[in-house]
Amino acid sequence: MAARRNPQLNVHGELIHLLSVEGLPREVLVQILDTAGTFLSVSEREVKKVPLLRGKSVFNLFFENSTRTRTTFEIAAKRLSADVFNLDIARSSTAKGESLLDTIANLSAMHADMFVVRHGESGAPHLIAQHCAPHVHVVNAGDGRHAHPTQGLLDMYTIRHYKRDFTRLSVAVVGDIVHSRVARSDLHALSILGVPDIRAVGPKTLVPGDFAAMGVRVCHDMAEGIRDADVIIMLRLQNERMSGAMLPSASEFFKTYGLTPGKLALARPDVIVMHPGPINRGVEIDSAVADGPQSVILPQVGFGIAVRMAVMSIIAGNPA
Amino acid sequence: MRITIHGGRVVDPASGRDEIADVAIAGDRIVAIGAKAAELEAERRIDAQGLVVAPGLVDLAARLREPGQEHEGMLESELQAAAAGGVTSLVCLPDTDPVLDEPGLVEMLKFRARKLSRCRVFPLGALTRSLQGQALTEMVELTEAGCVGFSQVEVPIVDTQVLLRALQYAATHGLSVWLRPQEAWLGKGVAASGAVATRLGLSGVPVAAETIALHTLFELVRATGARVHLCRLSSAAGVALLRAAKAEGLPVTADASINSLHLIDEDIGYFDADFRLAPPLRQAADREALRAALADGTLDALVSDHNPVAADMKVLPFGEAEPGASGIELLLALALRWGRELGLPLVRTLAPVSCAPVRVLGDALGSLASSAGRLVEGGVADLCLFDADAEWPVTAATLCSQGKHTPFAQASSGGMLQGRVVTTLVAGTIAFDRR
């Protein structure tokens, strides 16, 4: 088969869509993180706005319900002075039987400049990017199990903020990795940024051995997985997976893979603990850890807005 | 009509013949091959210099989408596609709407196909009513109406008791059962389990979905003696089980699709829905095992798995897109590609698309069984003339099928196919002529 160009990049190798972290050059990731750094101060100003997207229309298309992610994208776009439109597609067009691409065509006719898309099917943002007008940019806000690149990037921003250098770190991602788009984006980003020791930790039902092909060490033992880690990223366990064929119960999961102060002591003393939220206290993480001194869960949220501002401003400035 | 074909390279996999010779046809029969052929006074002379004169191809899996799904393909367009692909006999699948589970539907389909006289059509009947895996169909009546075997297509029978009974009943009447080995629960994913599905976040179908089903089927074949044709094997492990079952002498045959023979999961690229297929594309080692098994005869037939899918059903996220691809017009070129890549002589390359699938059909073909898929004096004049070197791009414009989606399309694979049918004859009449 012929090699196909990464659809996120234009012929000059510049980012025009953000669909996945996979396959992005390291320089592009660093550019996003550096740009996010400059936006961090915007949020602390009296007037929390810059005019970079003034006159641009950003459509939040959430085919799956989400309040938190949609809100952070909305805040980010508004701080860039864009006009933001939230479409709750889950309850409108598709319920009437309109196809995904018809929805996109209709919104394009309303002169959209950017789509922020969340969809339950892996690859849906790729399909949209492939079929929308050339001047329209697409940001993936989470597709199926595939990717959640802005979350991955804000995790990288957080790690860089606290640890500076990626090339000496041991990072453990723990929990329901097989169903997690956040985990996939984190694993790709960590690998691109040169983290030498990446571990995917969880039971075999949630962390299949195939993840080794992504350049990570698969650990089914929690102690082995987090020993001497510099960074631990805990993943949210979805309610529907807490009892059934994947796991017998939330409490057994907490017993075996939940992050408690006792287990945390196995990691390096200066370890940071991250979580994409919303957290399940007493399921994947103990409150004492979530609220403890090593937790950076709340700063992550603030960084998330700056990273999303960075992504939107960068892709809006690059021609197809 | 009397037709003579001059100067072509006559290749007959069944006899091993491969020589420049003339072929004479009178009525629906081949009357002479070689020197005697030139003596026939023909109404039509076909110059075949530079062309291969081969038996018409026999494709054991093609969907015609009739009755009921005429928006995806119609008998006329799909049989035109078959003729353009050099296919003179095809087996069509019963997952139409309504399902082919009543004799009247089968008779109607056979009648409509015969009127078009482009390609011989041999329907598979549904093994269970509405393919629901519960009640058996009237297999004897359906056979009298023209069915050559009985299939569940893509709907595995969940209740093993029903499967056992279906095989017992089919064996009672000497009928063959065509099943794709796919365990119902493990088979629910949209891509083959492995690094690619894991990376893309697509739900996986493990190899065990195929091997568990094969183990079950082989046990039931041992118990019932039913003749089973295994459709679309996809894995190296599946091929190994098939090889052992054949060595044991079980009455089983099997095929693989052109897609699994040439493509792997990595070709999915960035969620290209043209690569959404059933069975899903597996890894390189599986592809190599399928290629080797087709060469050594463990796999009997190569099939197009032709499945015209409407454009709307492919512009969807990968997991929601309808599985399937058009393929009947690519069957010859992709058989040739396989043969070239393995360094096989043409007589062997063409066997899995001519005489070998006819052996799979066996007695179900009736009087055709002795000469379909072969070139023999006195046999039916089903032929395909092709230019083995001609290169052509697969595009919407070059396909006759209403289904324009194939992973071998130039837009997806970038390349050209080599080997193109020039003329197709069915029962001594010209069904297709590109010149």
ipTM of the modeled complex: 0.92
Lowest mean pLDDT among A112-121, A180-189, B314-323, B410-419: B410-419
DSSP string, B217-263: HHHHHHHH--EEEE-----HHHHHHHHHHHHHT-SEEEEEEHHHHH-
The answer to whether A105 contacts chain B (CB < 8 Å) is: no
Query: Is A219 within a domain?
Result: yes
A1, B271: Cβ pair inside 8 Å? no
Instruction: Report the distance separating Cα A160 and Cα A189, nearest Å.
Output: 12
Distance from CA of B283 to the nearest CA of A (A): 13
Collect all residues of chain B within an 8 Å Cβ-Cβ radius of residue A99.
312, 315-316
User: Torsion angle, CA of A48/A54/A57/A58, rounded to 10 degrees?
Assistant: -30
Using one digit for the tens of pLDDT, what is the confidence trace for A32-63?
Answer: 999 999 999 887 888 888 999 999 999 999 99
Alpha carbon separation from A128 to A242, B305, B309 (Å, rounded): 33, 29, 20
Distance CA A130, CA B412 (A): 13
pLDDT (tens digit per residue) in A280-306:
999 999 999 999 999 999 999 999 999
Within an 8 Å CB–CB cutoff, is residue A101 touching chain B?
yes
Cβ-based contacts under 8 A for chains A and B: 78
A195 found inside a domain: yes
Q: Mark whether A58 and A179 lie in a shared domain.
A: no
Residues of chain A contacting residue B310, judged by C-beta atoms under 8 Å apart: none
Please write the tens of the pLDDT for every residue from B221-249. Answer: 999 999 999 999 999 999 999 999 999 99
CATH code, domain carrying A200 = 3.40.50.1370
Q: Distance between CA A60 and CA A103 in Å, rounded?
A: 13
- Determine which of A10-14, A259-263, B10-14, B46-50 has the lowest per-residue pLDDT on average: A10-14
Regarding whether A134 and A164 lie in a shared domain, the answer is: no
| Contact at CB, A184 and B201, closer than 8 angstroms | yes
Asked whether residue A50 falls in the same domain as residue A188, the answer is no
- Active site positions of B, annotated: 305
What is the three-state SS of chain A?
CCCCCCCCECCCCCECCECCCCCCCHHHHHHHHHHHHHHHCHHHCCCCCCCCCCCCEEEEEECCCCCHHHHHHHHHHHHCCCEEEEECHHHCCHHHCCCHHHHHHHHHHCCCCEEEEEECCCCHHHHHHHHCCCCCEEEEEEECCCECHHHHHHHHHHHHHHHCCHHHCEEEEECCCCCCHHHHHHHHHHHHCCCCEEEEECCCCCCCHHHHHHCCEEECCHHHHHCCCCEEEECCCCHHHCCCCCCCCHHHHHHHHCECHHHHCCCCCCCEEECCCCCCECCCECHHHHCCCCECHHHHHHHHHHHHHHHHHHHHCCCC
φ, ψ at B272 (rounded to 5°)? -70, 115
Please indicate, yes or no, whether residues A260 and A235 belong to a single structural domain of this protein. Answer: yes
The CA distance from B343 to the nearest CA of chain A, in Å, is 21
Chain B touched by A146 (CB under 8 Å): yes
Which residues span the domain enclosing A256? Answer: 149-300
Looking at the domain assignment, is residue A122 inside a domain? yes
Which residues in chain B have Cβ-Cβ distances shorter than 8 Å to A181? Answer: 201
Residue B318 forms contact with A (CB below 8 Å): yes
Q: Do A213 and B412 touch (CB under 8 A)?
A: no
| Chain A residues touching B414 at Cβ < 8 A | 1-2
| pLDDT computed for residue A2 by the predictor | 44
Decide: residue A76, CB within 10 A, 0-12 exposed, 13-18 middle, 19+ buried: buried
**Which are the contacts of B298, defined by CB distance < 8 A and separation ≥ 6?**
B239, B242, B243, B246, B254
* Mean pLDDT of chain A, nearest integer: 93
Q: Does A208 touch chain B (CB under 8 A)?
A: yes
Distance from CA of B202 to the nearest CA of A (A): 6
Chain A hits for B266, CB-CB cut-off 8 Å, are 1
CB atoms within 10 A of CB A134: 9
* B267 interaction partners in chain A (CB closer than 8 Å): 1
Is A176 near chain B, with CB under 8 Å? no
Does A131 lie in the same domain as A164? no
Q: How close does chain B come to A23, measured CA to CA in Å?
A: 11
Average pLDDT over residues A198-205: 97
Chain A residues within an 8 Å CB radius of B192: none
Residue A13 lies in a domain: no
| Same structural domain, A57 and A125 | yes
Domain B56-370: CATH superfamily, name plus number: Metal-dependent hydrolases (3.20.20.140)
Chain A contact present for B202, CB below 8 A? yes
Residue A64 contacts B, CB cutoff 8 Å: no
Selecting from A1, A101, A214 the residue whose C-beta is nearest the C-beta of B413 gives A1
First to last CA, chain A: 25
Cα–Cα distance measured from residue B200 to residue A38, given in angstroms and rounded to the nearest whole number: 32
CB contact under 8 Å between A123 and B200, yes or no, is yes
Phi-psi region of A52 (alpha: psi -120 to 50; beta: other; left: phi over 0): alpha
**Cα A275 to Cα A295: distance, rounded to the nearest angstrom:** 9
Q: Tell me, yes or no, if B44 comes closer than 8 A to chain A by beta carbon.
A: no
Same domain for A200 and A120: no
Burial B296-319 (b: 16+ CB within 10 A, else e): eebbbbbbbbbbbbbeebbbbbbb
Residues with pLDDT less than 70, chain B: 72-73
Counting Cβ atoms within 10 Å, is residue A180 exposed (0-12), middle (13-18) or buried (19+)? buried
Burial class (CB in 10 A: 0-12, 13-18, 19+), A223: exposed
- Within 8 A of A147 by CB-CB distance, chain B residues are 201
pLDDT-derived band at A91, boundaries 50, 70, 90: low
Cβ atoms within 10 A of the Cβ of B250, count?
18
> Does residue A8 sit within a domain?
no
* CB-CB under 8 Å, B195 with A7: no
A5 in contact with chain B, both atoms CB, cutoff 8 A: no
What's the token pair of residue B215? 């183990």
A17 vs B: CB within 8 A: no
Band of pLDDT at residue A1, cut at 50, 70 and 90: very low
| Residues in chain B within 8 Å Cβ distance of A2 | 413-415
3-state DSSP assignment of residue B383: strand
Is A309 a domain residue? yes
Give contacts of A211 with chain B, Cβ < 8 Å: 198
Cβ of B185 under 8 Å from any chain A Cβ? no
The answer to whether B124 and B163 are in contact (CB under 8 A) is: no
Of A121, A146, A147, the CB nearest to B320: A121
Identity of the residue in A101, A122, A208 whose CB atom sits nearest the CB atom of B200: A122
Per-position DSSP letters for B365-379, written without gaps between them: GGGGGGTTTS--TTS
- What does the alpha-carbon distance between residue B26 and residue B380 come to, in Å, rounded to a whole number? 10
- Is any Cβ of chain A less than 8 angstroms from the Cβ of B312? yes
How far off is chain B from A101, nearest CA to CA, in Å?
Answer: 8
Alpha-carbon distance of A279 to B366, in angstroms, equals: 68
Q: Write the residue in A126, A127, A210 that is nearest to B198 by C-beta.
A: A210
What are the helix (H) ranges across B97-176? 103-116, 139-145, 160-172
A145 part of contact set with chain B, CB < 8 Å: yes
Scanning every residue of chain A, which has its alpha carbon at the shortest distance from the alpha carbon of B271? A123
The verdict on A271 and A306 lying in the same domain is no
Please, which residues bridge with residue B46 across strands?
B5
In terms of Cβ atoms closer than 10 Å to its own Cβ (0-12, 13-18, 19+), residue B152 is: buried
Number of domains in chain A: 2
Q: Are residues A178 and A267 in the same domain?
A: yes
Strands A231-234 and A272-274: parallel
Clarify whether residues A160 and A69 are in a common domain.
no
**HSE of B222 in the Cβ direction (CA atoms, 13 Å)?**
9
Instruction: For residue B352, give the DSSP letter.
Output: G
Residues A306 and A276 in one domain: no
Burial of B175 (0-12, 13-18, 19+ CB in 10 A): buried
- A38 plus A105 within the same structural domain: yes
Taking the CA of residue A247 and the nearest CA in chain B, the distance in Å comes to 18
Residue A117 lies in a domain: yes
Residue A15 lies in a domain: no
Domain coordinates of chain B in residue numbers? 56-370
State which residue of chain B sits closest to A181, comparing Cα positions: B201
Residue (of A69, A100, A107) closest to A85 by Cα position: A107
Nearest by CB to B198, which of A147, A181, A211? A211
Nearest neighbour of A127 by CB, restricted to B195, B198, B317: B317
